[in-house]
Amino acid sequence: MRPGDVGDEGVAARAGGRLPGDPVPDPGLGDEEPPSGPPPRRRTGYGRAFVHALPVLLIAVAILYDIFTPRYFTAGPLYTAAPLVAAPLYSRRGTALTGVAVVVSVIGLQLGKGVIHYVDSLTELITIATVAVLAVIVNGMVRRSSERLVSVREIAEAAQRAVLPEPAERIGGFEIAVCYEAAQADAFIGGDLYAVQDSARGVRLIVGDVRGKGMGAVAAVAVVIGAFREAAEQEATLEAVAQRLERALAREGTRRDGLDAFEGFTTALLAELPHGDGTVRIVNRGHPPPLLLYPDGTLDTLPARESALPLGMGDLGVWPDRAEEADFPGGATLLLYTDGLTEARDARGEFYDPQTRLAGHVFRHPVMLLNTLAEDVRRHSGGGMADDMALLAVRRPRRGDHDHCYET
C-alpha cells in the first residue's frame, strides 16, 4: 500500500469522505454533501421569465398609459413593439394572439376616447395591425431557422457519437468517465480525442490533441481512433500501439494537401491497465502528463522520464517508445486530459492548475470528478475557454467496493 493510503476500514470511518485533519476543499470541489433545502434560484431564470412576459407587460403598460393620459396622447410604439417581441419568443399561435390582443386593445381604447374616426387614430390602427401581421410572418421564418438549427445540431451530435463514442461506465472492471468541452459555442467535436479499448493484455486508453481545427482535425481524429482500436486489439505491447498510430498518421499525411501534409501532428498519451496487476503503463507522445488521484486526497503527476515527439512527426527523428510503469492502487483514479484544461485562463490571465485545484479533494466516482472539474474550469475561465478540452478518468475499485448509482 502506498504511504498515506487508507484501508477500507479507514475509508468507512471518514466523515464526508475525508479523514480528520484532511485539507478542507474549496467551494465547488470535492465530495461535499449537498446543502439542505431548496436550491437557490438562478438569476438567469428570472431574466428568461421577464423576457418571456415582456409582450404582455408592454400591452399592459400601453393600456394604462392610454387610460391615464389625455385622449390625444398615444402609446402606439408600445403596441407595435409587443408582437415584434413575441415573434422570436412565442409560437405562431402565441404571436397571432398577441397581435389580436394589441389590435383589440387599440380599437377599444380609441372607441372609449371617441377618437377612432380621426385620421391619425385610423393610421395608427392600420400601422399596428400591419406590424402584427408582419410579426406572424417573422415568427414563421424564425421557426424554420430554428428547425434547421436543430437538424444541424442533431447531425453534429450523431457525428460526435460516431467519431467519439462514449465508453461504457465499466470496462474490464474499471470505472470509466469521459467529458468533452468544446471552446466554440454550439460545437460538439473538434481536434481532441479519447478512446477506451479492452484487450487480452488489459484496458488500453488514449487521449490526444490533433493540431489544427475544422474538418481536417476531425478527419485526423477519426483516423487516430480507428487505428488505435485496431492496434489495441492486435498489438502485444503499448509501444507497438504507438508505432501503429505513427504509421497511420503518416499514411494520412500523404493524402492531405497543403500545409497539413507536412506539419500535421497529434500529441497523445496512451495508457495500459493490466487486469488485476495494480499498475499502469504509459507512453507519452508530447502530451500533458496524467494525474493520479489517491483515495486519501493526495495526488501525483506522472511525467514522462524521456521526452518523445508527437505522433506524425517521425520524420524529424527516431526515438524508440518506452512504456513507463507506475503503481495504480485500488481506490485511485487516473485522470487524462488535453491542454484545453491547463490553458484555460481567468480574467487576470492565470492558467488553470488542475494539480493545485484537485489536491486534498476526494471523489467517489470518475463522473463526480469530471463534472466537478469541468464546472470549476468554466468558473475559472468565465465560460470563455480558448481551446477544446477532453477529459478521461479511470478508477480502479478496491476490493469490497459495491456498485453504486451515481448521478451524471
Q: Please say whether the beta carbons of 139 and 88 come within 8 A.
A: yes
CATH of 166-395, one of 3.60.40.10, 3.40.50.11890, 3.40.640.10, 3.30.360.10: 3.60.40.10
Total residue length of the chain = 408
CB atoms within 10 A of CB 335: 25
93-137 per-position pLDDT tens digit: 999 999 999 999 999 988 888 888 888 888 889 999 999 999 999
What are the b/e assignments for 106-142, b being 16+ CB within 10 Å?
beebbeebebeeeeebeebbeebbebbeebbebbeee
Phi, psi of 264 (to 5 degrees): -65, 135
Q: Which three cell numbers stand for residue 262?
A: 507536412
Q: Please say whether the beta carbons of 270 and 205 come within 8 A.
A: yes
Give the pLDDT confidence score for residue 127 in this predicted structure: 92
Q: Please say whether the beta carbons of 171 and 203 come within 8 A.
A: yes
- How far apart CA 359 and CA 362 sit, in angstroms, is 9
Phi, psi of 173 (to 5 degrees): 90, -5
Q: Is 70 exposed, middle or buried (0-12, 13-18, 19+ CB in 10 A)?
A: exposed
Give the pLDDT confidence score for residue 110 in this predicted structure: 87
Give the pLDDT confidence score for residue 18 in this predicted structure: 41
Cα angle for residues 364, 194, 208 (degrees, 5° grid): 115
Residue 29 — very low, low, confident or very high, per pLDDT cuts 50/70/90? low
Among 58, 176, 68, 78, which Cα is nearest to 131's? 78
Phi-psi region of 25 (alpha: psi -120 to 50; beta: other; left: phi over 0): beta
Most confident of 60-74, 270-284, 313-327: 270-284
Residue 407 — very low, low, confident or very high, per pLDDT cuts 50/70/90? very low
DSSP 87: T
Give the pLDDT confidence score for residue 148 in this predicted structure: 80
Look-up: residue for cell 490526444?
Answer: 208
Percent of the chain past pLDDT 70, that is, above it, reads: 75
- How far apart CA 312 and CA 263 sit, in angstroms, is 8
69-101 per-position pLDDT tens digit: 887 788 888 999 999 999 999 999 999 999 999
Lowest average pLDDT, out of 36-45, 52-61, 139-148, 245-254, goes to 36-45
More confident residue, 400 or 90: 90
Give the pLDDT confidence score for residue 101 in this predicted structure: 94
Whether residue 8 is predicted with pLDDT greater than 50 in this model: the reply is no
Residue type, 78: L
Residue 17 — very low, low, confident or very high, per pLDDT cuts 50/70/90? very low
- How far apart CA 364 and CA 350 sit, in angstroms, is 29
Look-up: residue for cell 469530471?
Answer: 370
Whether residue 16 is predicted with pLDDT greater than 90 in this model: the reply is no
Give the pLDDT confidence score for residue 194 in this predicted structure: 93
DSSP 309: P
More confident residue, 95 or 164: 95
User: What does each C-alpha distance from 75 to 71, 105, 314, 322 come to in angstroms?
Assistant: 11, 11, 73, 78
- How far apart CA 140 and CA 153 sit, in angstroms, is 20
258-308 per-position pLDDT tens digit: 445 544 688 999 999 998 889 999 999 989 999 999 999 999 999 888 778
Cα angle for residues 111, 114, 118 (degrees, 5° grid): 100
Question: How confident is the prediction for the chain on average, in pLDDT?
Answer: 80
Domain boundaries, the chain: 43-158, 166-395
Phi, psi of 250 (to 5 degrees): -65, -45
Percent of the chain past pLDDT 90, that is, above it, reads: 45
Tell me the angle at which helices 76-86 and 92-113 cross, rounded to the nearest 10 degrees: 170
Among 270, 263, 312, 300, which Cα is nearest to 287's? 270
Looking at the whole model, is its pTM more than 0.85?
no
- How far apart CA 127 and CA 218 sit, in angstroms, is 51
